[in-house]
Each structure stands twice: as structure tokens, then as C-alpha cells.
Structure 1
Amino acid sequence: MKIAPLLLALSVSAMPAAAAPRRDSHAFLEQGRWWGVNVSSLEFKEPLPVRPQDIDFYANAGAKSIRLPVKRARLDTPEKLAALDALIQRGTARGMLMVIDEHSYGNIGDPDIRDFWLRMGRRYRGQPLVAFDLQNEPKGGTWVSWGPDARDLIHALRKAGVDNQLILEWRGWSGFGRADRGEPPKRACESALCSLNRGGIFTLADLDPLKRTWLSPHRYFNRGGSGATPECRPYPATGPLGNSVKAARKLGMRLYVGEFAFGRAKTVPKTCQAMVDDIVAFFRTTPEVVGGAAWGWGPRWSKTYLFRGESIGDRTKSWDTENGRLIRSLWAK
């Protein structure tokens, strides 16, 4: 009897089967179509209440995503946190991606921002439909520091067990045209891609060990993209819009368009009407774009606000305005 082959066979049969690859519970987010609106109020010093039934108003119209601007210094009582919880719970129950946006325009390297997201991470851990927009249109620091600071923040959150989808904005108002300016080696950085690359960040994995971070460009279509005036200036896909896509492709990342606007409930300027079909088609057909949120919705905006999306009086008429129809055209399957 040959003992060695028998022992070998027994040892092989006794080996445990290889564990099946762990399924990524967040992978469905990459399928995209997370289009919706910004619902402003919680970021104001004197907010008007946003209620769970308000979330239903947007969900019933077809929105798949809500971006909730907040300021960390104002989420300072158990009652305010409970109100945020109620909105998050209603939205996720409706299958919506709920984006908590830290809207303080701060320096992403600020320790207070890290502490805030560690608290939010403990509060909403294990909820794939709750995403964190780490810092709205960050200021402070420099282009040189922004990329490494963003990486350090993300790594700190992951080390602490925060598993939520993260959304990253950059200096220069997070403008589409500031995603990649193709700076040569001897020129100072003026774009997100340059800052990341010079910080040794060349792929999504370099930035986020869990590979759950999206880039978030903002785009208002007036000259310069400030959103300070209502007219639209055409932006072909080869211009600033395309720059963000090219940057995302180089990094292996996706884009969530955190802010954009075509007009308001009362009117859409003719210059915007002339280009909006091309912009909607670009957003809908570009694989890197997973969704976004139109700016100017929520109860807090005045009657005269430039991008107020909701109709005065009967808000259900908001979806019948030209602006409402344009926004909803992004939500179509």
C-alpha cells in the first residue's frame, strides 16, 4: 500500500473550501441614475422645517437622489440630529440616495471636518443609501495641500470603519473646468487632478481603500460658471464638461454632479433653452456620470431667488414649469 499518496489525498480533502468573494453591498450605486435635487434649509441660520413628507414630494415626482446641505456647527442639538435622521430614514425607505452635504465652504484638511464625519459615520454606518459629501466647494489651504488632505481624510474615515459612499469636491468652486487643466510639471497646480497626482494619488484605490468615492463637479452655465447671473453660455462636451470626465477616467472614478441649474420655476432663459437638450443628453449618456442634484429646491429660498425651483403657493405645480420638466427629463429611465 502506498501511504504517501493516500496521506496527500486525505490532506487535500481535509482542506477547507476557499471562501467565496465577499459581495460589495455598495456596488449597485455604480449603476448610476441617481438624479434628484438639492433640498436647502438645514444649512441656514434660521431654517424652515423640512419634513419626511417633503421627501415624499420629491420621490413621488421621480427623484432618485436628495442632496441635503447642512452646516456642521448648526447640527448641534439632539433635536436637529433627530430631524435629519427622519429625513434620511424616509428617503432611504423610498430607495433614494440621501447625500449629506457639509456646506460650510471650509478647508478639507480642517480637523473639525474629520471629527464631524467620524460622528456621522458612526450614526449612519452600514447604510449604502447614505452618502457623505465631504466639503462643499472647499476653500482654505492650497492646491498643493488639497489632494493629500482629501486622501488623509478619506483614509482616516476608512480606518475608523466608516463604510459610506463618499463624495469629493475641490477648490475653485468645484467647477467642471477645474477638474483637469493639464498643468505641465513646472507649473503650479490649478486643478483637482494635478493636486491628486502630485500627491501620489493616481487611482481611486490610492485615494480610497474601499474605492467608494465619487468626484463631484458643479456647473452653472453662465460665463465663468459662478451661477451669479441667469443666462447660459454654451459649453460643448470638449470644454469644461469634458474636462471633468477626462479627469474621472484617468483616476478610474465616477462623477456625481452636486449642483447645476438651468433656470427657476418662473422662467428658463432663452440662452439656456438653446443648450439644455445637449447638456441633458451629455449627463444621461456619459458612463462616468452616475447622477446629480439640481440646485434651488427646498422651502427656504425667497420668491426672487435666481434658481428657486419650487412654485410659489401650490408647490405641486413645480413639475409643470419648464424648469421642472427639464429637471425631470434627467430622471427618466
Structure 2
Amino acid sequence: MKKRLGIALLACAAAAQAAPLEWRGISLSGAEWGEKLPFPGVHGKDFVYPSVDSTAYYQARGMNLMRVGFRWERLQPRLMGELDEAELARLRGFVDGTTARGLHVLLDPHNYAAYKEVRIGTTEVPVAAFADFWRRLALAFKNNPRVQFGLVNEPHGLPTETWAEAAQAAIDAIRATGARNLVTVPGNGYTGAWSWFETTWYGSANADVMDRVHDPLDRMLFEVHQYFDKDGSGTTPDCLSPHIGEERLRRFTAWLREHKRRALLGEIGGGSNPVCEQAVQGALRHLQANADVWAGWLWWAGGPSWGDYFMSLEPEATGRDKPQMRWLEPFLGDK
């Protein structure tokens, strides 16, 4: 037991001495909520944007990237139409205030590659509509170099080839505006790192298709998500083993290196227990040890409406940190 504890302490010390990855942050949730209610819902009741002031807590602990979720349908109520002025103002208020603090913001249309639950690539929601949305969003934010463009959250329910086509069309539309902002590109099948090679339940494997997607400016990252419970969904607080973090990332890391690509671990998290602590820290040590292909990570989640959700990193009402914040300290930047 003492030997294992000594090894764990040495590993944490090594992680603390390693330079932190470029991007360390959190997904702030709330503005994408309310999709099951009569849409678009009421701002302040059914959905709410996180406050700029709330980002100070994370910044003080060494985080530098805030991922903000929102709904495509609220921002663009009609496909190929203008962006909604009120919703854009809400998003812009958060983005402008947060980036003025020196933080970066990753825009996250939290839509699963669908519009009103109809998948991209159908007659109702053609690929051209997705590209048009990103053209408009890029025009709105391209002059802020601290804004990053996450194409969409966790595509699923469509062929991987269709998703790759849509991702490429969106990148091309973004670059046609003159925007040079960093773009993150998820894979199909909920973009799990551990299922990047899967072919049995979501169609062609990401590993066989997603390398087709390229950015002419070479300013894109693949965005994958990874949880450590039994089915990798992040819906339960238990992690499968202390070593599952590194194990579920290893093969995707090799794919990145083989294809000369880089990635962002856009969602990671676990319940407050010793096994998840070891799994999460093992995953983050793996990222740091492979910094040539990993650009950073984001914890899931924060935001104003989570209550006692087991992965919420929002501080207690007293200001006290959640236990998981301690896990992340060796992997964060200067406070």
C-alpha cells in the first residue's frame, strides 16, 4: 500500500513540474437548456447564460478557456436566415465580457449535428444550412482573436461521411469570411476518444473518415470527449478503474500522431471518489506526456443551474472548492 501511494505521489509531482497544456478550462452550461420545453423558451427561466463575473473563479485557479453552450435554433430561428438580435446580444455579452478579462471562449452550438432534432445532411437541414450558420457566426466574432469556434456538440445519428462533409463545409465557410479563429471539429458517434475506431453502432469509424477534414490555415483541433464510467457516457459517478483514463485515450493519441493532427479533450469529468480522482489525473498526465498532439482539456461542467450535479465544478455557496478542483490543480497554469 505504501509503495503504491509513493508511486502515485511521484506521478502527481511529475505532472506538477510539467508545463501545463495551452488550453485548460471548463464547459459552462445553461444557455443550451430548455430544448424539451415549448421552444425557444423564456430567457432567465428556461435557459440562462453564465455570468461574466462567474468566470473569475475559474480564471483565479489557472483556467484560460471557457466553453459556452447555446442552441443553434435560438440563435438562428430560421435556416439560412438572419441571426436573432436578442440571442446574439446575450451571447456577445458573455463573450465580450469574458474575453476582456483575458480569457478565451469556445463557442459551442450544443446541437448534436441537428436543427430542431432533424439531422444535418437531410432535405430539411442540408449541409449548406450548417455552413450558412457558421458563416454568419464567424462574421459576428471573427474580429475577436480570443474566440474559438467549436462546430457543434457531439454529432450522432447521421453517417460519418455526411458529418465530415458538413464539417468541411463549415470550415470553408468560416475561412471565406477571413476569420482566422481556431476551429474545433468533433467526430461522429458522440465524439468519444475511446470509440474513434468503432464501426459497429454509428457507421464508418471516425478513424477512417475524419482525416478528410482539413483547414487551409491549419488552425483546427479535433475535439473528443471522454468519461470513465462503464459505458463512457458520464451519466454515473463511478469510474471503471484507476487506470481507465489513460487506457481510453491511448489509441486515439496514436491516431493523432500517425495522422499529424492535434486535439482538444473537450469534455472530461468524474464523480467525487478516489477511483475517479486517479482516472482523471491519469488521463491528464497522459495528455501532458503527449503534448505534441494534445492542446488541452475542458472539465464538464460548470454554470449557474447545476445544483448538486455530481460533476459540477461550481464552488459551494460558501465559496469552498468542489473536491474535483483539487484534482486539477497540478495541471493548471499560474494563478
Give TM class, smaller chain: 0.7 to 0.9
2:251 alignment partner AA: N
Partner of 1:158: 175
Structure 2 counterpart of 1:273, one-letter code: E
List gaps (5 residues or longer) in structure 2.
1-19, 35-45, 77-83, 114-118, 122-126
Change (3 A) 1:329 1:91: farther
Counterpart of 1:83? 90
Cα distance change on mapping 1:238 and 1:294 into 2, 3 Å? closer
| C-alpha contact 1:38 1:294 (8 A) present in aligned 2 | yes
Alignment correspondent of 1:114: 131
Deviation digits for residues 74-109 of structure 1 (CA, Å, limit 9, x no counterpart): 235423322221221222223222100110112454
Number of corresponding residues: 283
* Cα distance in 2, alignment partners of residues 246 and 108 from structure 1: 30
Post-superposition Cα deviations, 1:155-182, rounded to whole Å, max 9, x if no partner, equal: 232233332211011111110123345x
Q: Deviation of residue 56 (structure 1)? A: 2.2
**Alignment partner of 1:254 is 2:262:** yes
Could you give the per-residue CA deviations for residues 186-209 of structure 1, whole angstroms, max 9, x where no partner exists? xx9642120135xxx2xxxx6111
Q: Name the CA shift for 1:43/1:193 in 2 (closer, same or farther; >3 Å).
A: same
Partners of 1:139 and 1:276 in 2: CA distance: 25
Q: Kindly indicate whether the alpha-carbon contact (under 8 Å) linking 2:246 and 2:279 is maintained by their aligned counterparts in 1.
A: no
Letter in 1 for 2:239: C
User: 8 Å contact 1:215–1:248 — kept in the other structure?
Assistant: no
**Residues 309, 232 of structure 1: alpha-carbon distance in 2 compared, 3 angstrom cutoff:** same
Task: Return the alpha-carbon distance in structure 2 between the equivalents of residues 243 and 307 of structure 1.
Answer: 26
- Distance in 2 (alpha carbons) for counterparts of 1:75 and 1:153: 16
Residue 322 (structure 1) aligned with residue 323 (structure 2): yes
1:41 corresponds in structure 2 to 30
- Moved beyond 4 Å, runs of 4+: 235-238
- Alpha-carbon shift at residue 328 of structure 1 (Å): 3.3
Q: With structure 2 as the length reference, what TM-score do the two structures score?
A: 0.77
1:241 maps to what in 2? 249
Superposition pairs for residues 121-140 of structure 1, below 5 Å?
121-140=138-157
The CA distance in 2 between the partners of 1:270 and 1:279, in whole Å, is 14
Following the alignment from structure 1 to structure 2, what is the Cα–Cα distance between the partners of residues 60 and 277? 20
Could you say what the CA RMSD is over the residues aligned between the two structures, in angstroms? 2.4
Q: Establish whether residue 307 from structure 1 lines up as the match of residue 311 from structure 2.
A: yes
Once the two structures are TM-superposed, the CA of residue 124 in structure 1 deviates from its matched residue by: 0.9
Question: Whole-Å Cα distance in 1 between the matches of residues 120 and 103 of structure 2?
Answer: 27
Report the Cα distance in structure 2 between the residues aligned to 1:232 and 1:212, rounded to whole angstroms.
34
1:11 maps to none
Distance of 1:237 and 1:222 partners within structure 2: 10
2:210 pairs with 1:196: yes
Instruction: From the superposition, tell whether residues 254 and 95 of structure 1 become closer, same or farther in structure 2 (CA, over 3 Å).
Output: farther
Q: Give the CA deviation at 1:236.
A: 5.3
User: 1: distance between equivalents of 2:298 and 2:120?
Assistant: 21
Q: Which has the larger radius of gyration?
A: 1
Whole-Å separation in 2 of the counterparts to 1:255 and 1:261: 17
Q: What is the distance in 1 between the residues matched to 2:30 and 2:68?
A: 8
1:22 match:
none
